[in-house]
């Protein structure tokens, strides 16, 4: 694989996505945006996903890339492996995006422009905020669970954060961010929170100055999510583990207990 000159390379983790991967949307994005590419990471799919990715890559071999993990290791590890591969291929900006395209691909350009305009930022992440003039379609139950989770995540991180779990993020391929992805995540599903904790504890970044939550103009809940009730039940335990592992190692004394 080569980065094909794509300055921005976005990782898309996939697992058994053959029936719902929108090939046309990804192909149209790279045709429209000359500096954007995608790296699909197949996480040991058991359906026809690899064949779909191979067909999609043929549309633009230099900017629609894919790699296969032999065994299913979960979204966190698929994203991490993809990010490391994207960095190795020389991308300046790297991100990850949910394969269901709940967040439209057009937001990548908005995230990129914000990183270009604000040199102090290391990470831009989508935030699903229902405001007038925006179309955020989300089931009520998941919305309220999400608000409770965000409150708990804010306590664990020591900073107010609205939406850690939106699957749309873009960041600089800086030494600080490379370190964040240097080791497997301890959390399987809420690794987004662990990512932020590592930014502070491992790279010494002040999240208030280096992370920007971008209010999305459009987001729609897509059927087929693999999140289950038991995953939300695990969240308090995983949040506690994140706090105890990283909280006391913050670069600035006194910020995290």
pLDDT at 157 over 60: yes
Least confident of 17-21, 140-144, 189-193, 227-231: 227-231
DSSP secondary structure letters along the chain: ---TT-SEEEEEEESS-TTT--HHHHHHHHHH-TTEEEEEEEES-SSSHHHHHHHHHTT-TTTEEEEEESS---HHHHHHHHHHHHHHTT-SEEEEE-TT-SS-TTHHHHHHHHHHH-TT--EEEEE----TT-EEE--HHHHHHHHHHHHHHHHHHTS--S-S--SEEEEE--HHHHHHTSS--S-SS-HHHHHHHHHHHTT---HHHHEEEEE-SEEE--TT----HHHHHHHHHHHHHHHHHHGGG-SSTTS--
pLDDT at 165 over 80: yes
Q: How far apart are CA 127 and CA 137, in angstroms?
A: 13
pLDDT at 46 over 50: yes
On whether the pTM is more than 0.85, the answer is yes
pLDDT at 11 over 60: yes
pLDDT at 256 over 50: no
pLDDT at 128 over 50: yes
Which residues pair with residue 171 across a beta bridge? 94, 123
**Residue 257: predicted pLDDT:** 33
**Residue 181: predicted pLDDT:** 98
* 189-209 pLDDT per residue, tens: 899 999 999 999 999 999 999
How does the average pLDDT of the chain come out, rounded? 91
**Residue 234: predicted pLDDT:** 81
pLDDT at 150 over 70: yes
- Share of residues in the chain with pLDDT > 90 (%): 82
* 93-102 pLDDT per residue, tens: 999 999 999 9
* 209-252 pLDDT per residue, tens: 999 999 999 999 987 656 555 666 788 899 999 999 997 554 44
**Residue 235: predicted pLDDT:** 85
Burial of residue 30 (number of CB atoms within 10 Å: 0-12, 13-18, 19+): buried
**Residue 144: predicted pLDDT:** 86
pLDDT at 175 over 80: yes
- Please, are residues 91 and 9 in contact by the beta-carbon 8 Å criterion? yes
pLDDT at 78 over 70: yes
pLDDT at 125 over 50: yes
Q: Sheet harboring 64-69: ordered strands across? A: 64-69, 36-43, 8-14, 93-97, 168-172, 123-127, 211-215
Nearest to 22 by CA among 250, 160, 220: 220
Q: How far apart are CA 64 and CA 97, in angstroms?
A: 14
């Amino acid at each position: 694989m080569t980065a094909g000159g794509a300055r921005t390379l976005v990782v898309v983790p996939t697992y058994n996505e053959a029936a719902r991967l929108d090939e046309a949307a990804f192909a149209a994005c790279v045709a429209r945006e000359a500096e954007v590419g995608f790296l699909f990471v197949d996480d040991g799919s058991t359906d026809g996903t690899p064949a779909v990715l191979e067909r999609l890559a043929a549309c633009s071999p230099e900017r629609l890339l894919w790699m296969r993990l032999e065994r299913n290791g979960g979204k966190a590890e698929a994203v991490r492996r993809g990010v490391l591969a994207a960095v190795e291929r020389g991308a300046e900006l790297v991100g990850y995006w949910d394969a269901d395209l709940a967040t439209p691909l057009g937001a990548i350009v908005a995230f990129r422009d914000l990183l270009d305009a604000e040199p102090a930022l290391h990470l831009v992440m989508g935030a699903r905020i229902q405001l007038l003039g925006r179309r955020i379609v989300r089931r009520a139950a998941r919305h309220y669970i999400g608000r409770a989770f965000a409150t708990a995540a804010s306590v664990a991180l020591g900073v107010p954060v609205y939406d850690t779990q939106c699957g749309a993020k873009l960041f600089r391929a800086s030494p600080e961010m490379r370190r964040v992805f240097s080791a497997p995540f301890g959390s399987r599903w809420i690794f987004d929170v662990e990512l932020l904790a590592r930014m502070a504890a491992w790279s010494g970044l002040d999240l208030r100055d280096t992370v920007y939550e971008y209010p999305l103009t459009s987001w729609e809940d897509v059927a087929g999510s693999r999140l289950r009730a038991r995953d939300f039940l695990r969240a308090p335990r995983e949040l506690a583990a994140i706090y105890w592992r990283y909280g006391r190692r913050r670069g600035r004394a006194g910020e995290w207990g």
